[in-house]
């Protein structure tokens, strides 16, 4: 059996790309060069690939990557690194490589100038490992589902709901869905792409309270250039003003098991009456255009409760979905090179969910 000394833990180098992709295909299946370039080397917020690898005899046998965001709270920003694609080759598991790669990443980013934090959504199996390394649970990120094909409950984006819950879910949607009036003075314009300037300007009109990804133009140009998803945008305007009052970026992905439409970003991020009217006009259009999707997904916090109910969305932190789902838990901590990091950053408590404002755009799976 290899000893700890047989492994080298180090920062990713460009020559590691093929080894990473081979390992990814072995552990998860799939993963293309275009996807890798988009997610890591082409990320606009770091000048390096934020990844640590475990190497043995010249072979990449483990990887601890991060997806980078520029996080904003008020007028200040910090580098936010979201874990994802963590993997260890089956022949090299249970040798502490996950912990060693993660600890080295904490030490590396803790030594950098400026604030760097991790915000992550690990599964139930890996979450205890992060908590042992000093992370804290922030709270549940609730997801809302408009389930259009209950048969899709057994796989894909709604796999956690489970087929056994399908009758209960049908009943819940039947009871809670109702007609919602569409404002007659609001028009919705559809864009086949993501108009970065329009969305960034709409975001800047009313930035929200709470930690969130800065939505500058480079965010939209990069975030929605993901090659394994297709994105389009719905922009709402009233007849008495030229500027938009609301917008929704919808992503579409068919992974072979289920066809998912995701309300990946919903603007403005802050609630308001104009936003509500805009979404009241956009949601029926989205439902019509994506009636063939198995499921439409949104972050629950982005949809007003009355509109979510009116359009048949069920939240996984409430019955009936909560009876059959596994909660999606956000964890966080600052990289500061210590075992006891501070928990306040720019006036926000990093371990308090109310101090975060996140959409699906901040989740690396959409």
Mean pLDDT confidence for 279-290: 96
Running DSSP on this structure, what letter comes out for residue 211? B
Report the C-alpha gap between 186 and 201 in whole angstroms: 19
Using DSSP, state whether 76 is helix, strand or coil: strand
Q: What is the pLDDT of residue 154?
A: 53
Strands 76-83 and 116-120: parallel
**What value does the mean pLDDT take over residues 145-169?**
62
Q: What is the pLDDT of residue 175?
A: 46
Mean pLDDT of the chain: 90
Does this chain's domain 4-141+328-362 share its CATH topology with 143-323?
yes
Rounded Cα distance, 229 and 4, in Å: 39
Domain definitions of the chain by residue range: 4-141+328-362, 143-323
Whether the Cβ atoms of residue 242 and residue 236 lie closer than 8 Å to each other: no
Q: Is 132 helix (H, G, I), strand (E, B) or coil?
A: helix
Mean pLDDT for the stretch of residues 213-222: 98
Structure tokens at 227: 């090659």
What is the CATH architecture of 143-323? Answer: 3-Layer(aba) Sandwich (3.40)
What are the beta bridge partners of residue 194?
Answer: none
The β-bridge relationship of strands 246-254 and 87-88 is unpaired
- In the CATH scheme, what is the code of domain 4-141+328-362? 3.40.630.30
Q: Is the pLDDT of residue 32 over 60?
A: yes
224-269 pLDDT tens trace: 999 999 999 999 999 888 899 999 999 999 876 789 999 999 999 9
Distance CA 147, CA 169 (A): 8
The pLDDT tens digits for 73-93 are 999 999 999 998 999 999 999
Radius of gyration, alpha carbons of the chain? 21
Distances (CA, A) of 277 to 148, 177, 295, 298: 24, 18, 24, 18
How many C-beta atoms surround the C-beta of residue 144 within 10 A? 25
Report the pLDDT value the prediction gives residue 300, as an integer from 0 to 100: 95
Instruction: Give the DSSP letter of residue 294.
Output: S
Least confident of 57-61, 208-212, 254-258, 298-302: 254-258
The answer to pTM > 0.85 is yes
**Overall size of the chain counted in residues:** 366
Q: How far apart are CA 237 and CA 244, in angstroms?
A: 5
What pLDDT shows up at residue 169? 57
CB 10 within 8 A of CB 55: yes
Confidence category of residue 289, pLDDT binned at 50, 70, 90: very high
The pLDDT of residue 160 is 46
Omega cis (within 30) before 320: yes
Share of the chain above pLDDT 70, in %: 91
Using CA atoms, how far apart are residues 233 and 250, in angstroms rounded to an integer? 6
**pLDDT at residue number 176:** 46
Count CB atoms within 10 A of the CB of residue 302: 23
What is the torsion angle, in degrees rounded to the nearest 10, for the CA atoms of residue 221, residue 223, residue 224 and residue 229? Answer: 150
Instruction: Please tell me the predicted confidence (pLDDT) of residue 114.
Output: 85
pLDDT band at 30 (very low <50, low <70, confident <90, very high): confident
Mean pLDDT of 308-320: 92
| C-alpha–C-alpha distance, residues 52 and 67, integer Å | 12
């Amino acid at each position: 059996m290899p000893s700890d000394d047989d492994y080298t833990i180090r920062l990713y180098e460009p020559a590691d790309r093929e080894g990473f992709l081979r390992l990814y295909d072995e552990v998860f299946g799939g993963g293309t060069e275009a996807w890798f370039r988009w997610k890591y080397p082409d990320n606009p917020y770091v000048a390096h690939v934020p990844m640590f690898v475990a190497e043995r005899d010249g072979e990449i046998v483990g990887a601890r990557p991060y997806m980078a965001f520029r996080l904003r709270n008020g007028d200040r920003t910090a580098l936010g690194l979201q874990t994802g694609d963590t993997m260890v080759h089956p022949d090299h598991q249970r040798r502490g490589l996950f912990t060693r790669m993660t600890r080295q990443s904490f030490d590396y980013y803790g030594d950098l100038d400026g604030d760097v934090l991790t915000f992550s959504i690990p599964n139930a199996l890996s979450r205890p490992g992060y908590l042992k390394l000093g992370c804290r649970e922030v709270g549940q990120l609730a997801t809302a589902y408009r389930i259009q094909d209950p048969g899709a409950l057994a796989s894909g984006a709604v796999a956690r709901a489970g087929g056994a819950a399908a009758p209960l879910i049908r009943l819940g949607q039947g009871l809670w869905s109702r007609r919602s009036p569409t404002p007659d003075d609001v028009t919705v314009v559809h864009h086949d792409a993501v108009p970065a300037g329009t969305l960034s300007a709409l975001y800047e009109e009313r930035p929200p309270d709470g930690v969130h990804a800065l939505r500058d133009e480079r965010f939209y140009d990069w975030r929605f250039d993901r090659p394994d998803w297709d994105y389009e945008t719905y922009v709402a305007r009233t007849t008495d003003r030229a500027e938009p009052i609301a917008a929704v970026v919808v992503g579409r992905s068919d992974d072979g098991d289920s066809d998912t439409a995701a309300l990946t970003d919903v603007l403005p991020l802050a609630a308001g009456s104009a936003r509500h009217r805009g979404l009241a006009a956009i949601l029926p259009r989205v439902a019509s255009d994506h009636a063939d999707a198995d499921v439409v997904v949104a972050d629950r916090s982005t949809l007003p409760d009355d509109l979510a109910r009116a359009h048949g969305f069920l939240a996984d932190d409430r019955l009936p979905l909560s009876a059959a789902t596994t909660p999606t838990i956000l964890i966080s901590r600052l990289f500061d090179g210590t075992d006891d990091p501070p928990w306040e950053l720019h006036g926000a408590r990093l371990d308090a969910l109310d101090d975060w404002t996140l959409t699906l755009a901040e989740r690396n799976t959409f």
